[in-house]
């Protein structure tokens, strides 16, 4: 065994201890240079856990916030299904507000019903168990779970299961704002995304345009946080970063305060 080979084995052991072990090159580029550049792997690392959080505000936004996070997650899961040719396991609580997946809507985001298997669990604990079992099944393309009561221990278990099975997991939850008793906090995920609705690009016909999301990378191992407005193209199935956030800061400039004395 050469010194170079021994060094590579040691590197693999260190990555395993750090919870970042995965096959070399197992990355899903998002096709967004600005976002891919913010990720140290050049894209979304596979065979690990990612957390996607919606942030509903008032009652009118309560449905739209999680829906935006769900749509963004569905696009990522659809790309994995197309890449691996497998099925996406989607785990929800039976009879809850999450148990309302709309197959035609998922199909428009590139995830046809034939590639989705829905597991309806009794409670959040069972949702997390279904996710863990699915992540250990290499035949699956991805596992998505909607759980509102996940902690660091649950996240670590899911992360280890994803690494063992080589399957990518997405823990999807509706976030909460300060003072609102938000449900799920940060878990032991490789990346944490926050996705909320954004205004659609103008269209030449009456009605709504394609989906648009305000996407924030809150946490990334070895990377830096970032924020982008992402547009979805219904016809091509492509994502693009809107120019307004690509070329300038995410937040509008504040007006200058005029001092009177």
Q: What is the pLDDT of residue 13?
A: 55
Give the mean pLDDT of 72-100.
91
Domains and CATH numbers, the chain: 23-199+210-246 (3.40.50.300)
Mean pLDDT score across all residues of the chain: 79
List the alpha helices (DSSP H) in the chain. 3-18, 33-38, 64-84, 103-108, 124-135, 152-165, 243-246
Q: What is the DSSP letter of 59?
A: G
Q: What is the pLDDT of residue 181?
A: 36
Write the CB contacts of 144 (distance below 8 Å, at least 6 apart in sequence): 73, 74, 77, 88, 89, 90, 91, 169, 170, 172
Q: Which residue has the higher pLDDT, 212 or 58?
A: 212
Q: How far apart are CA 90 and CA 88, in angstroms?
A: 6
Q: What is the pLDDT of residue 24?
A: 42
Residue 61: which pLDDT band, with cuts at 50, 70 and 90? very low
Do 135 and 105 touch, CB atoms closer than 8 A?
no
> Residues 103-119: pLDDT tens digits?
888 998 999 999 999 99
Q: What is the pLDDT of residue 50?
A: 96
Residue 11: which pLDDT band, with cuts at 50, 70 and 90? low
Q: How far apart are CA 31 and CA 82, in angstroms?
A: 15
Residue 174: which pLDDT band, with cuts at 50, 70 and 90? low
* pTM for the predicted model, two decimal places: 0.78
Q: How far is CA 214 from CA 47, 140, 190, 242, in A?
A: 25, 29, 20, 10
Do 80 and 88 touch, CB atoms closer than 8 A?
yes
> Residues 129-144: pLDDT tens digits?
999 999 999 999 999 9
Give the mean pLDDT of 148-153.
84
Q: What is the DSSP letter of 253?
A: P
Tokens 């690494």, residue located: 163
């Amino acid at each position: 065994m050469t010194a170079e080979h021994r060094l590579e084995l040691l590197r693999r052991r260190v990555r395993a201890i750090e919870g970042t072990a995965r096959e070399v090159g197992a990355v899903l580029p998002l096709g967004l240079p600005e976002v891919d550049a913010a990720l140290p792997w050049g894209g979304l690392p596979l065979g690990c856990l990612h957390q996607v959080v919606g942030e509903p505000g008032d009652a009118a936004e309560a449905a739209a916030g999680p829906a935006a996070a769900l749509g963004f997650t569905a696009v990522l899961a659809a790309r994995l299904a197309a890449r691996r040719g497998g099925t996406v396991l989607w785990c929800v609580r039976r009879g809850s507000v999450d148990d309302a997946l709309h197959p035609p809507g998922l199909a428009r985001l590139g995830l046809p019903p034939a590639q989705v298997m829905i597991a309806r669990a009794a409670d959040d604990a069972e949702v997390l168990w279904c996710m863990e079992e699915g992540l250990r099944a290499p035949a699956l393309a991805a596992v998505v779970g909607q759980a509102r009561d996940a902690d660091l221990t649950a996240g670590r278990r899911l992360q280890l299961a994803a690494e063992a099975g080589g399957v990518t997991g997405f823990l999807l939850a509706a976030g909460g704002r300060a003072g609102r008793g938000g449900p799920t906090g940060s878990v032991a995920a490789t990346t944490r995304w926050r996705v909320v609705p954004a205004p659609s690009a103008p269209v030449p016909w009456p009605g709504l345009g394609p989906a648009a999301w305000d996407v924030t990378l809150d946490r990334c191992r070895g990377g830096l946080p970032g924020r982008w407005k992402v547009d979805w193209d219904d016809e091509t199935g492509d994502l693009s970063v809107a120019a307004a956030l690509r070329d300038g800061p995410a937040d509008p400039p504040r007006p200058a305060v005029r001092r009177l004395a």
